[in-house]
Every structure is written in C-alpha cells, then in structure tokens.
Structure 1
Amino acid sequence: MAITQAMCTSFKEDLFQKEQDMDSDTIKIALYTSSASLDAATTSYTTSGEVASGGGYTTGGETLTSPVIGTSGTTAYVDFDNPEWTSASFTTAGALIYNDTTAGNNSIAVLNFGGDFTVTSGTFRIVFPSPGAAGLIRID
C-alpha cells in the first residue's frame, strides 16, 4: 500500500457542485501509517491505516483553523494554521485533509511525508507553506 500526495479528484468535482466551503466548513487532518492506501482517487475519510487513538492522537484527527483563502497570479489557494499534537507518541507517514461537515466526510488532499516520522513524548507539528502560489491546497 502507498500514500501518494495529491489533491483528491473528488474534491475538484465537489467545488463545482458547491459541496465544500473551505471558509466555513469544518476541515480536519487525519494522520496515517505507511500501511494506508491514499491517493487522488480517495473520496472520503477512512480509518483504514489511520494512526490509532492514544499517544496524543485521536482518530479523526485535528480541526484545521484560521483558513486563509486567496489568489496569487492565476493560482487560487487556501491555507490554515499549522496543526500539532502535543504529548504525542506515534509514527505517521502521511495525512488526509477532509471535510468533516459534508455527509460523507469528503476528501480534499493527501499528504505524503516522504517516510515514517516518529515522535516520542513530544510535539508533532505539520508546517504548511506560507499562503500564496505555493500554498498547501492550490488550484493552478
């Protein structure tokens, strides 16, 4: 199984159908182990391969806060505050950003961390790019 970084294809369709509002919906990020199978075809949040509850992590992940929506040239983007898990002890290889407000917990994007990251009794933080053309979630 693999985690392949991508904007989820279903998210693009959701935008045209007005099913996702990045400014007012509850957007979450869930962490996954290397056993997960996530890619552009992922349509919704799944617990398969998710980091287990405990060690500072709760299944379902963290809510992303302070959305910043904008444009840079011909690129539209959304960015959030950096999520973090304190008093954490787990190993993760990637993440799924998804919409917790939609009935199906629709997927938005898959992140691949480039390998396993292990934290032991510490803080695990994902640092998103600065808002702009290199923003976390962008449509070019």
Structure 2
Amino acid sequence: MAITQAIANSFKKELLEGQHNFASGQDKFKIALYTSSATLNSATTSFTTGNQVANTGQYTSGGGLLVNSGTSISAGVARVDFADRSFTGVTLTARGALIYNTSATATNAAVAALDFGGDKTATSGVFTIQFPAPTSTAAILRISG
C-alpha cells in the first residue's frame, strides 16, 4: 500500500469532457484523509472509504468541503487555489489525502492524490492541510503547455 502524489488520470480525461468546473461557486470539492494503509495514486478514480482515517472531532467520513478561490492564469499556466482546510478537536494520523469532486455531474470523482511525505498526527487538536501558494510553479493544480 502506498500513497503517491498525482493528478488522477481519470480527472485529466473528465476535464476535457467538461465534468469539472473550478470557477468559484460552481462544483464542490472535498478533501478526505487517509492512513498509510491506503493506496492512492494517478490510477485512483473516485473517493473511497477504505483506509480513510476514523471519525474524530470535526473530521467525519468523506472529509471536509474545500473553499475554492477560483481559477487564474499567468505565465501560460492555468491554476486553481483552495483555502487551507483545518479539522478541529481531532486525534488522528494521516499519510495523505484525496481531493475529489462531489457535484452531481462528477459523482465523487478523484481529482488528485496528496502524499504528506510521512505520517502527520494531531492529538486532541487541529489538523490543517496547507495548500501551496497559487503561483504558476507551486499551485496544487496547474496546467501548462
């Protein structure tokens, strides 16, 4: 079992088919946390409850809604930005996460698997996923030619 940071291959195809709308206020995206026993990678096609971290504090199965700050383009790179996401009152250990689309047209379709580089833990506290700056070289989701 392993988590490998990657954009989901199915997402790339679905993006060309118009199944994902990242404009602010459009499709809803969530982030779910997973243990080191999970297998998440470019072949992941949808949200799964298998090896997700257990319900604790504010974290429940399926994870939490992401606040989408919309899209932008600069230096020939299109990108999307999400606000950092925190779960409070939790005791958990997560190795990675899955961003997925919960809209009716996408039906929990995988967007990207995130590898935290090791187990990250919170004990009776706050677990925060910090997204990188929305620049053309660092944004969590970016498309260039």
TM-score, normalised via structure 1 length: 0.95
Query: What secondary structure is seen at the aligned counterpart in 2 of 1:11?
Result: helix
Query: What secondary structure is seen at the aligned counterpart in 1 of 2:31?
Result: strand
Letter in 1 for 2:34: Y
Distance apart, 1:95 and its partner CA: 0.2
Distance apart, 1:103 and its partner CA: 4.8
Percent identity, please.
49
The residue correspondences of 1:77-92 to structure 2 (distance < 5 A) are 77-92=79-94
Query: What secondary structure is seen at the aligned counterpart in 2 of 1:131?
Result: coil
Distance apart, 1:73 and its partner CA: 1.0
Q: Does the Cα contact within 8 Å between 1:92 and 1:118 map onto a contact in 2?
A: yes
Letter in 2 for 1:70: S
Deviating beyond 4 angstroms after TM superposition, the runs of 4 or more aligned structure 1 residues are none
Distance apart, 1:71 and its partner CA: 1.1
Q: Indicate the residue corresponding to 2:6 in structure 1.
A: 6
Query: What secondary structure is seen at the aligned counterpart in 2 of 1:67?
Result: strand
Among candidates 39, 42, 54, match of residue 40 of structure 1? 42
**Inter-partner Cα distance in structure 2 for 1:8 and 1:103:** 13
Letter in 1 for 2:71: I
CA root-mean-square deviation: 1.1
The residue correspondences of 1:41-80 to structure 2 (distance < 5 A) are 41-80=43-82
Q: Does the Cα contact within 8 Å between 1:27 and 1:97 map onto a contact in 2?
A: yes
Letter in 2 for 1:32: Y
Q: Does the Cα contact within 8 Å between 2:100 and 2:112 map onto a contact in 1?
A: yes
Q: Indicate the residue corresponding to 2:107 in structure 1.
A: 104
Task: Mark the runs of 5 or more structure 2 residues left unpaired by the alignment.
Answer: none
Task: Mark the runs of 5 or more structure 1 residues left unpaired by the alignment.
Answer: none
TM-score, normalised via structure 2 length: 0.92
**Inter-partner Cα distance in structure 2 for 1:67 and 1:47:** 27
Residue 120 (structure 1) aligned with residue 104 (structure 2) = no
